[in-house]
Amino acid sequence: MDISIILYLIYKLPEQSKLALQNNVSEIAFQKGHILLKANKIESNIYFIKKGLVRAFIERDNEVTFWFGKEGETVISMKSYVEEQPGYESIELLEDCELYELKTENLKKLFSEDVHIANWGRKFAEKELIKTEERLISKQFKNASERYLELMKDHPELLQRIQLGHIASYLGITQVSLSRIRGELK
């Protein structure tokens, strides 16, 4: 997915602002397994996924996957980006990826200079917020089985591309529980 489309899907920018933003973006590729962002570190870049698939995970006693990103999505350590503090998540590439890279330092400069880009940044945060809020509510209302069906309905392609251990973790259950749920659905 081209960068101009990715930016547009967040918020339509006037031509000049769009170019100003795109001029700060460079292309880069990494292989499956690469760790793109590291936990407990202030990250200085954000990425847009041109092609491929990644996951965000947090490690404590166990490891929990809490986000998947595919083509068109933004890879970001939110805590680094918002508070300039070490983030809690690492990002691992689940497939070979082509990415667009943007230095947050440059982005923040553009935010202060260009009202359209500031509103683009606002829309980005707002849309991410809606998605996160919907997941929180889903978790509050639905049991594991219902959340699995919801994922199948909303993102069926992820089930083809991601191994079930990660899916289970994302759903907030163990892999064994997910297998049981899948078994019961047959």
Partner DNA sequence: TTCATTTTTTATCATTTGTTAAATTTTTTC
Partner DNA sequence: GAAAAAATTTAACAAATGATAAAAAATGAA
User: Interface residues with DNA (CB under 7 A)?
Assistant: 143-145, 163-165, 172-183
Identify what 177 binds: DNA, a copy of itself, none; CB under 5 to 8 Å per kind: DNA
Identify what 128 binds: a copy of itself, DNA, none; CB under 5 to 8 Å per kind: a copy of itself
| 3 state DSSP class of 140 | helix
User: Considering only CA atoms, which of 34, 32, 9, 63 is closest in space to residue 172?
Assistant: 63
CB 44 within 8 A of CB 156: no
- Rounded CA gap, 85 and 97, in Å? 26
Does 140 interact with a copy of itself (rule: CB under 8 A)?
yes
To which residue do tokens 């163990």 refer?
174
Which region among 10-18, 27-35, 97-105, 134-142 touches a copy of itself (by CB under 8 A)?
134-142
Which residues, 6+ apart, have CB-to-CB distance to 96 below 8 Å? 29, 30, 31, 32, 52
For the bound state, the minimum distance from the C-beta of residue 119 to a copy of itself, rounded and expressed in Å, comes to: 5
Interface residue with a copy of itself, options 84, 105, 133, 146 (CB under 8 A): 133
| 3 state DSSP class of 144 | helix
For the bound state, the minimum distance from the C-beta of residue 27 to a copy of itself, rounded and expressed in Å, comes to: 26
Per CB under 8 A, residues contacting a copy of itself are 58, 60, 64, 66, 78-79, 81-83, 88, 111-115, 118-119, 121-123, 125-130, 132-133, 135-137, 139-141, 172
